[in-house]
């Protein structure tokens, strides 16, 4: 992904710069709308834009692969629900305080909170794994507010002009942030070795990953979180934020610590538990991702690079 605009052609720089102006203009304009209307408004905007940007095609293709018996009326409904949720997530990312306050007030359920508190008391490192479900930043914000300081791995935006704006937005939830790549991985490992907590979104196609079944089909999945957990004796705990029926609030669910066995078994457990959660809330997972791309081994030994 481009890091320095000077490395791009004049046409690419102009295109990225124009896109940056448009995106920031939309975000700035939405910021003038009261929060309780702004979030559903952005959901509505993306629902309308989804067929034009290819979201519906991607969602339908994914559902045809893993849920071939799903009635077409349900497929159409999910196209709208998934797009609406993604639009809300985008608006929430740039909402600042109103979103954080909602996330802070979210109830926390599940046995993993006790495991997380125990690990903190023991000074043991923790790897929180999550997915593109609900709004994963709500879970991170909630736990940081509860005193669980954590770093998070993020992926640089392709648009170098917009990336700085994006990073500033996600840093409002909490720091440190580690940019995906060799340097970010080294910084993240140092943080972990000190007994820190890190959060990783682990449900994307990952170069160098392993074929792990997700919805009954092999999906290339990074086993790096499990490898790190085993190497540094870290607690590996899945956490998710479920959007509530009003579309604005969340419930944070922290699942129990994944038993330390081997990377593939641990990652398989995480994938299966996420699948079970998605089946309960089908419209909240990002079905727009190319999750079931063909397996393509990568010589990168860290397996840290991912694609959507």
Contacts of 281 (CB under 8 A, 6+ apart): 133, 134, 242, 243
> What's this model's pTM, rounded to 2 decimal places?
0.86
pLDDT of residue 307 exceeding 50, the answer is no
pLDDT band at residue 5 using 50, 70 and 90 as cut-offs: low
Question: Does the structure show a pLDDT above 90 at 40?
Answer: yes
Spatial contact of 221 and 267, defined as CB atoms under 8 Å apart? yes
Segment 126-162, tens digit of pLDDT: 999 999 999 999 999 999 999 998 887 767 666 676 6
Instruction: With H, G, I as helix, E, B as strand and everything else as coil, classify residue 150.
Output: strand
Given a contact cutoff of 8 angstroms between Cβ atoms, the answer to whether 219 and 205 are in contact is yes
Model pLDDT, residue 63? 98
Question: Based on the number of CB atoms within 10 Å of its own CB, is 107 exposed (0-12), middle (13-18) or buried (19 or more)?
Answer: exposed
pLDDT tier, 44 (very low <50, low <70, confident <90, very high otherwise): very high
Backbone φ and ψ of 266, nearest 5°: -65, -45
- 162-200, pLDDT tens digit by residue? 667 677 766 677 777 777 778 878 888 888 988 999 999
Its sign, for the CA torsion 213, 69, 307, 269, is: negative
Q: Say if CB 78 and CB 282 are below 8 A apart.
A: yes
Give the pLDDT of residue 165.
64
pLDDT tens for each residue of 96-111: 899 999 999 999 999 9
Instruction: Look at residues 215, 218, 216 and name the one whose alpha carbon lies nearest to residue 205.
Output: 218
Give me the percent of the chain exceeding a pLDDT of 90: 65
pLDDT of amino acid 8: 64
Q: Does the structure show a pLDDT above 70 at 303?
A: no
Q: What is the pLDDT of residue 296?
A: 57
């Amino acid at each position: 992904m481009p890091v320095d605009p000077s490395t791009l052609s004049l046409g690419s720089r102009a295109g990225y710069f124009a896109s940056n102006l448009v995106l920031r203009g939309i975000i700035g304009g939405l910021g003038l709308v009261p929060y309780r209307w702004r979030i559903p408004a952005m959901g509505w905007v993306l629902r309308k834009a989804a067929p034009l940007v290819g979201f519906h095609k991607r969602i339908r293709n994914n559902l045809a692969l893993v849920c071939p018996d799903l009635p077409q009326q349900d497929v159409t409904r999910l196209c709208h629900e998934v797009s609406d949720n993604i639009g809300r997530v985008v608006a929430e990312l740039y909402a600042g305080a109103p979103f954080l306050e909602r996330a802070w007030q979210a109830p926390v359920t599940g046995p993993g909170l006790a495991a997380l508190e125990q690990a903190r008391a023991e000074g043991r490192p923790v790897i929180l794994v999550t997915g593109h479900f609900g709004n994963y930043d709500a879970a991170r914000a909630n736990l940081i507010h509860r005193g669980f300081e954590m770093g998070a791995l993020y992926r640089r935006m392709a648009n170098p002009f917009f990336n700085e704006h994006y990073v500033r937005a996600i840093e409002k939830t909490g720091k440190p942030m580690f940019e995906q790549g060799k340097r970010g991985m080294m910084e993240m490992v140092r943080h972990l070795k000190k007994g820190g907590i890190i959060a990783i979104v682990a449900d994307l196609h990952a170069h160098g990953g392993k074929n792990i079944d997700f919805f009954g089909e092999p999906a290339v999945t990074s086993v790096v979180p499990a490898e790190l957990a085993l190497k540094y004796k870290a607690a590996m705990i899945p956490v998710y934020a479920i959007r509530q029926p009003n579309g604005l609030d969340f419930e944070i669910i922290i699942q129990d610590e994944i038993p330390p066995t081997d990377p593939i078994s641990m990652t398989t457990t995480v994938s299966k538990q996420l699948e079970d959660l998605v089946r309960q809330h089908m419209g909240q997972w990002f079905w727009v991702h190319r999750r079931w791309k063909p397996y393509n081994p990568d010589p990168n030994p860290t397996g840290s690079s991912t694609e959507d």
